[in-house]
Amino acid sequence: MITLKEVNTKKELKTFVKFPFTLYKDSKYWVPPIISQEIKTFNKKENPVFNDAEATLFLAYKENKVVGRVAAIINWLEVKNQNQRKMRFGWFDVIDDIEVTKKLLDKVLEIGTKNNLEFIEGPIGFSNLDKVGVLTEGFDHIGTMITWYNHPYYAEHFKKLGYRVEKEYLEHKHAFVDIKRENFSRIQEIIKKRYKLRPLYFKKTKEVMPYADKMFDLFNQSYASLSSFVAITDIQKDYFKKKFLGFINPEYIKFVVDENDELVAFGIVMPSFAQALQKMKGKLFPFGIKHLLHAKKHSKKVAFYLIGVHPEYQQKGVHAIIFNEFHNTFTEKGIIECIRTPELADNAAINKLWRNFNPIIYKKRCTFRKDIP
């Protein structure tokens, strides 16, 4: 018999966060989250997303053992401001038992029905800065800090339960310093002169901070046209700065400003922390922080986290300035491979942006949808 329990206590939340550690204990490819950070994600006093969203967490039990988990999420900014009457679900993990999957998702559907929502979609988080999608190809590649990993049967469970693919995402990898630099080095000089632009150089994180809020504003502007985009609110900016900036080398943050010092483009890259996180096994202390710091300094692989250009400067070659700056940094650091975060398969603009790098698709993932009757 399968039973569900709503997560209400600190102990239950820790059980919720740690369930994947059991489910994927034998996987070479799963990358553990940092347990303390995951717990903070669901702390309403810590995470300002709860000012405009709600989440109910559930654990599934069978024979007194945890066999699944899910977060049922409503982002009210999306529902009220965008008229997207969507019930989200994320942090979904389950054993290979479709009845457990059904039990968990039926509970999410129930909450959606009570709130007069129209459909359910997942796995997705609270916003576009959270992890997204269930992996459908590329199970034999190591995960990343900013993506979910899952067993192959997840997608089959969704399909058998009447869910259909809603959005498809691709993950690419490619070299960077080995490509022909003339693809962007010459044009970036022309673009800088034509539009009176200049790149910013950072050596310390504190130098980034005066521009961080502008970066989030530009993120909202440059990504607004993407499906399911939910803007980052002012109160969320400080939270994300604290959550992410500590993991990013300041020299891996590239900003481009105009003659008035207004931000027109940005690129953010993170060192690959995958192997460090596997060694840490979810714990920062006593030795986990050492693995993170070593990867931050010495990793020869990087993950492109975000790149954005102001709508007024899109299609004008401004990205060439960003690429040229990264080429200089990656050459100096000896970076051998770039991994890109999940990108919508139908995002023609991003595909065009990277075409000269000869990217390889090495993973595919998608979200699934079901209408609420």
Q: For the whole model, what pTM was predicted?
A: 0.93
User: ∠ CA 266-224-40 to the nearest 5 degrees?
Assistant: 75
In this prediction, residue 177 has a pLDDT band, given cuts at 50, 70 and 90, of: confident
- The pLDDT tens digits for 303-357 are 999 899 999 999 999 999 999 999 999 999 999 999 999 999 998 888 888 988 9
The rounded distance, in Å, linking the Cα atoms of 13 and 350 is 38
In this prediction, residue 234 has a pLDDT band, given cuts at 50, 70 and 90, of: confident
Report the share of the chain in percent with pLDDT over 90. 81
How much is the pLDDT for 128? 84
pLDDT at 228 over 90: no
Domain 181-335 has CATH 3.40.630.30: yes
Domain boundaries, the chain: 2-171, 181-335
pLDDT at 226 over 80: no
Give the Cβ contact number of residue 297 at 10 Å: 10
pLDDT at 231 over 90: no
Tokens 């559930």 locate to 58
Q: Which of 241, 268, 264 is nearest to 254 (CA)?
A: 268
How much is the pLDDT for 301? 96
Paired with 164 in beta bridges are 369
* Range with the poorest average pLDDT among 218-227, 296-305, 358-367: 218-227
How much is the pLDDT for 353? 87
pLDDT at 261 over 70: yes
pLDDT at 174 over 70: yes
Residue predicted with more confidence, 8 or 176: 8
- The pLDDT tens digits for 137-148 are 999 999 999 999
How much is the pLDDT for 289? 93
pLDDT at 182 over 90: no
Report the share of the chain in percent with pLDDT over 70. 99
Cα torsion at 39, 123, 292, 277 (round to 10°)?
100
- Where does 2-171 sit in CATH, by number? 3.40.630.30
Paired with 235 in beta bridges are none
pLDDT at 82 over 90: no
Structure tokens at 355: 């075409």
Q: Which of 325, 335, 209, 340 is nearest to 265 (CA)?
A: 325
In this prediction, residue 178 has a pLDDT band, given cuts at 50, 70 and 90, of: confident
pLDDT at 122 over 90: yes
In this prediction, residue 185 has a pLDDT band, given cuts at 50, 70 and 90, of: confident
How much is the pLDDT for 61? 98
Query: 337: left (phi > 0), else alpha (psi -120 to 50), else beta?
Result: beta
* 3-class secondary structure per residue, 259-286: CCCCEEEEEEEEECCHHHHHHHCCCCCC
pLDDT at 73 over 90: yes
